[in-house]
């Protein structure tokens, strides 16, 4: 039996470096050695005997409770719950950096150069003192207390006779102390990988005018590396200084080149959009979010329940009910599995501690945690996409780096928020200069190991190249030739979803028809298919008003005022002002309508004096005519002095026309005919449009003729098979939401 104490433990900077090392041993007839990443190593070699490590989310909640009694505005931090969720990282990293370098805030107080910031230090000291008190009271510690409470895990360490640590980077003082203590138990060999010189002949640097065109640059360089340099695709790496750019890169990966080390976030998922929309509607309402609520199909019961309890303390039953309703909005099984895991962890977090959180705070935490969920990339591409830290300890033959701009390289650290470089130097803490040098070290290692390197940066009015180009790549001449990366990027991006024919076996007479759906079908069968059968919705989330929005507002205002018999100029102005305040884009349009509707008030007064009274508004109907189910809603019905009725449909158009003997044959609009037929039990003397723009009533003079025409159309709906073909009149396509799908854009 192999004596465990004879084993050697190999420690590598990353899991990717481990895989490369194991791969190098595949053809050797030896037992695989024991290997571990540096991150896992430091977790294994120490332990806590009396305290527990706090979870990241509980840590933020405790910190947020602490700052409620402390003025943190001087630190540039907002104490509101939602803002602090984002900003808490500044404080946490500040405390952690001091701890791992065995420094205290008092050490900074001793620096005369920091006298100007004495108030800041006093605030940070107060936060730290109270925060640590809460942690210890609840038997927790975090990274900032770990150096004071850890113990060396001798049982784990003594499994090995020797440890070899391959390191790229800089150890903190705390990490060096741990390594020193381990070395008293077993032999420890720390190997630092030194920089090799960079061969400028293998490096190609190209400035590019638009950020997105760098994707075309990536594709060109991949092609060259594989076909010209004969580099194996699995030995090519794409390095993203801004890792969020991988989402854009994935959109253009038609060739399935890439595998994304950072995984895929779920911010475009139904669940994230649902939670985000509810948060926006209840925290910072904007009219565009109402459209989102409908677009994402957010359950109304869930929304009302959340709204009613928004400022209430949440118990476990309420939390589980709401979370389960949220999960029902998601169909992706991978995401649902992770959501159930999140539900369990949040239940433990919220209800095993006396946190007494309001629903609005819990919802913000839920959104925050969902935004952190990533799904493993299973696309199977051979070319790896990752951030610079993941390249440590690994050699790639082909290296492509984009965004080589000064705002991204070197990457700025939130650790530098509270302390100036001068103070950090005095306190012997790592400065921004040290961090910059460390990043140079990473890029130099990456480039020096490669056979071919391609670098691009954005060269426009607001972006400048990284200072690293002049420091570590000073011998490389930049290529200022003009390349057509647009052609590479977009040549295969033409959407090929157009179908010449869509033929379906369907009996349209079995469907229920509104005047609008019939008009759509008669004008363009393809549009009807997309909208009413496939139910493809328009993605409209802009604050700018849609063409129909002002008309809808006028309808709603008049409906309420007419119902309540409170139609006055003053009340109209008050109601319209509410909509103006909600959406500033509507201000001018609604101001015009305040003037326009003055005449409407006078006309209504005159109609009332003539004996006319409002009989019904927003009157819904469903009935069967010639074997076809018809439905709709009548804007308004008036009872006239002679006992008959007139039907009115409000219109806000400035060029409203009714059909004439010359035009009715080509008409597709049978709205007034639907209204008339739905009220056949009443004596209807007229149906017409209430032209609000010109303050007139325009009656349907071709009513009988159009009813005959309607009957012909309804008879034609008794079908067995329908070709949902494109309309011949292309002017109809001009403002159609589906014109792209029909190749008529």
476 shares its domain with 621: no
Reported confidence tier of residue 113, pLDDT bands at 50, 70, 90:
low
525 shares its domain with 591: yes
684 strand-pairing partners: 645
Tell me if 424 is assigned to some domain.
no
The pLDDT score that the predictor gives to residue 432 is: 85
For strands 684-691 and 645-651, give the pairing. parallel
Between CA 399 and CA 455 the distance in angstroms is 8
Between CA 515 and CA 670 the distance in angstroms is 6
Between CA 720 and CA 437 the distance in angstroms is 74
661 shares its domain with 587: yes
Reported confidence tier of residue 197, pLDDT bands at 50, 70, 90:
confident
The pLDDT score that the predictor gives to residue 314 is: 93
Reported confidence tier of residue 544, pLDDT bands at 50, 70, 90:
low
Which among 456, 518, 32, 8 is positioned nearest to 203, based on CA atoms? 456
Reported confidence tier of residue 497, pLDDT bands at 50, 70, 90:
low
The pLDDT score that the predictor gives to residue 116 is: 55
26 pLDDT exceeds 90? Answer: no
The boundaries of the domain holding residue 393 are 200-263+378-414+430-490
Tell me if 499 is assigned to some domain.
no
384 pLDDT exceeds 50? Answer: yes
284 pLDDT exceeds 70? Answer: yes
User: Final residue of a domain: which of 160, 192, 224?
Assistant: 192
Q: What percent of the chain has pLDDT over 90?
A: 65
User: Final residue of a domain: which of 463, 490, 517?
Assistant: 490
155 shares its domain with 132: no
The pLDDT score that the predictor gives to residue 494 is: 53
110 pLDDT exceeds 80? Answer: no
- Segment 320-324 shows an average pLDDT of 94
559 pLDDT exceeds 70? Answer: yes
Which among 427, 374, 165 is positioned nearest to 264, based on CA atoms? 374
Tell me if 742 is assigned to some domain.
no
Give the chain's mean pLDDT: 89
Tell me if 608 is assigned to some domain.
yes
Which among 483, 468, 460 is positioned nearest to 404, based on CA atoms? 468
518 shares its domain with 597: yes
- Segment 335-349 shows an average pLDDT of 94
Tell me if 441 is assigned to some domain.
yes
Between CA 336 and CA 342 the distance in angstroms is 10
Tell me if 497 is assigned to some domain.
no
Neighbours of 613 (CB within 10 A): 11
The pLDDT score that the predictor gives to residue 3 is: 46
609 shares its domain with 705: yes
Which of 79 and 195 is assigned the larger pLDDT?
79
Tell me if 247 is assigned to some domain.
yes
Query: Minimum mean pLDDT among 61-75, 307-321, 359-373: which range?
Result: 61-75
Between CA 222 and CA 398 the distance in angstroms is 8
462 shares its domain with 472: yes
- Segment 630-646 shows an average pLDDT of 95
383 shares its domain with 368: no
Q: What percent of the chain has pLDDT over 70?
A: 94
User: Final residue of a domain: which of 122, 148, 174?
Assistant: 148
Which of 296 and 43 is assigned the larger pLDDT?
43
Tell me if 539 is assigned to some domain.
yes
Between CA 122 and CA 106 the distance in angstroms is 10
For residues 237 and 383, the answer to whether their CB atoms sit within 8 Å is yes
Which of 78 and 272 is assigned the larger pLDDT?
272
438 shares its domain with 295: no
Residue keyed to tokens 């730290």: 128
- Segment 436-446 shows an average pLDDT of 94
> In this structure, what CATH number is given to the domain that contains residue 688?
3.90.320
- Side-chain half-sphere CA neighbours of 331 within 13 A: 2
The pLDDT score that the predictor gives to residue 4 is: 47
371 shares its domain with 337: yes
Between CA 188 and CA 279 the distance in angstroms is 52
The pLDDT score that the predictor gives to residue 5 is: 47
540 shares its domain with 627: yes
Sheet with 160-167: list strands edge to edge: 34-37, 7-12, 160-167, 187-192
User: Which letter does DSSP use for residue 449 in this model?
Assistant: T
Domain count within the chain: 5
538 pLDDT exceeds 70? Answer: no
Residue keyed to tokens 């647009």: 486
Between CA 2 and CA 521 the distance in angstroms is 80
The pLDDT score that the predictor gives to residue 492 is: 55
For strands 140-141 and 52-53, give the pairing. parallel
pLDDT tens digits, 138-182: 999 999 999 999 999 999 999 999 999 999 989 999 999 999 999
- Segment 110-114 shows an average pLDDT of 58
Structure-derived torsion over alpha carbons of residues 207, 211, 215, 221, reported in degrees to the nearest 10: 10
Between CA 452 and CA 459 the distance in angstroms is 23
> In this structure, what CATH number is given to the domain that contains residue 16?
3.40.1010
43 shares its domain with 57: no
């Amino acid at each position: 039996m192999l004596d465990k104490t004879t084993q050697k433990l190999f420690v590598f900077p990353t899991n990717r470096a481990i895989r490369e090392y194991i791969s190098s041993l595949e053809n050797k007839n030896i037992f695989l050695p024991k290997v571990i990443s540096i991150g896992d190593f430091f977790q294994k070699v120490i332990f806590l005997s009396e305290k527990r490590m706090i979870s990241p989310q509980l840590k933020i909640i405790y910190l947020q409770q602490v700052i409620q009694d402390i003025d943190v505005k001087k630190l540039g931090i907002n104490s509101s719950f939602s803002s602090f969720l984002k900003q808490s990282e500044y404080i946490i990293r500040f405390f952690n950096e001091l701890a791992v370098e065995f420094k205290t805030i008092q050490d900074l107080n001793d620096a005369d150069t920091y006298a100007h910031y004495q108030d800041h230090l006093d605030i940070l000291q107060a936060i730290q003192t109270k925060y640590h008190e809460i942690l210890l009271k609840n038997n927790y510690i975090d990274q900032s207390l770990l150096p004071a409470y850890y113990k060396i895990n001798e049982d784990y360490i003594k499994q090995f006779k020797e440890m070899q640590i391959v390191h790229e980077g800089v150890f903190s003082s705390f990490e060096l102390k741990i390594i020193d203590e381990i070395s008293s138990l077993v032999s420890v060999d720390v190997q630092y990988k030194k920089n090799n010189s960079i061969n400028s002949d293998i490096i190609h640097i190209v400035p590019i005018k638009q950020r997105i065109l760098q994707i075309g640059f990536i594709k060109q360089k991949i092609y060259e590396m594989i076909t010209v340099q004969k580099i194996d695709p699995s030995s090519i790496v794409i390095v993203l200084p801004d890792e969020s750019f991988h989402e854009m890169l994935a959109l253009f990966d038609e060739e399935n080149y890439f595998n994304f080390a950072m995984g895929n976030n779920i911010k475009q998922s139904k669940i994230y959009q649902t939670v985000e929309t509810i948060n926006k509607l209840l925290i910072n309402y904007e009219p565009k979010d109402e459209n989102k609520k409908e677009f994402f199909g957010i359950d109304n019961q869930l929304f009302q329940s959340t709204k009613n309890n928004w400022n209430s303390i949440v118990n476990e039953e309420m939390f589980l009910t709401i979370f389960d309703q949220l999960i029902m909005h998601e169909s992706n099984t991978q995401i649902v599995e992770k959501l159930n895991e999140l539900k369990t962890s949040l239940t433990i977090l919220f209800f095993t501690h006396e946190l007494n959180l309001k629903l609005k705070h819990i919802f913000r935490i839920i959104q925050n945690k969902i935004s952190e969920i990533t799904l493993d990339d299973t696309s199977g591409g051979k070319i790896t996409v990752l951030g610079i830290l993941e390249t440590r300890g690994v050699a790639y033959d082909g290296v492509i780096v984009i965004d080589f701009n000064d705002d991204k390289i070197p990457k700025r650290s939130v650790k530098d928020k509270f302390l100036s470089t001068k103070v950090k130097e005095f306190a012997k803490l790592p400065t921004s200069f040290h961090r910059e040098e460390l990043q140079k070290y990473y890029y130099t290692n990456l480039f020096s190991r490669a056979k071919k390197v391609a670098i691009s940066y954005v060269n426009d009015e607001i972006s400048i190249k990284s200072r690293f180009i002049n420091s570590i790549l000073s011998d490389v001449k930049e290529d200022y030739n003009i390349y057509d990366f647009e052609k590479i990027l977009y040549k295969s991006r033409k959407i090929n979803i157009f179908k010449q024919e869509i033929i379906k076996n369907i009996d349209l007479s079995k469907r229920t028809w509104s005047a609008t759906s019939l008009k759509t079908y008669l004008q363009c069968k393809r549009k009807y298919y997309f909208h009413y059968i496939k139910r493809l919705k328009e993605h409209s989330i802009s604050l700018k008003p849609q063409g129909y929005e002002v008309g809808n507002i006028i309808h709603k205002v008049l409906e309420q005022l007419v119902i309540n018999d409170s139609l006055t100029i003053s009340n109209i102005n008050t109601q319209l002002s509410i909509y103006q305040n909600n959406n500033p884009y509507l201000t001018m349009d609604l101001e015009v309508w305040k003037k326009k509707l003055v005449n409407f008030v006078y006309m209504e007064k005159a109609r009332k004096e003539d004996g006319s009274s409002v009989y019904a508004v927003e009157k819904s109907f469903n009935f069967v005519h010639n074997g076809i189910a018809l439905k709709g809603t009548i804007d308004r019905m008036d009872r006239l002095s002679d006992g008959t009725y007139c039907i009115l449909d409000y219109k806000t158009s400035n060029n409203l026309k009714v059909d004439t003997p010359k035009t009715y044959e080509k008409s597709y609009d049978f709205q007034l005919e639907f209204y008339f037929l739905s009220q056949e039990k009443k004596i209807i003397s007229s149906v017409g449009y209430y032209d609000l723009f010109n303050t007139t009533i325009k009656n349907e003079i071709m009513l009988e003729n159009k009813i005959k025409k309607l009957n012909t159309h309804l008879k034609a709906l008794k079908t067995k098979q329908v070709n949902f073909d494109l309309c011949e009149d292309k002017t109809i396509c001009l403002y159609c939401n589906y014109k792209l799908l029909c190749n008529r854009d």
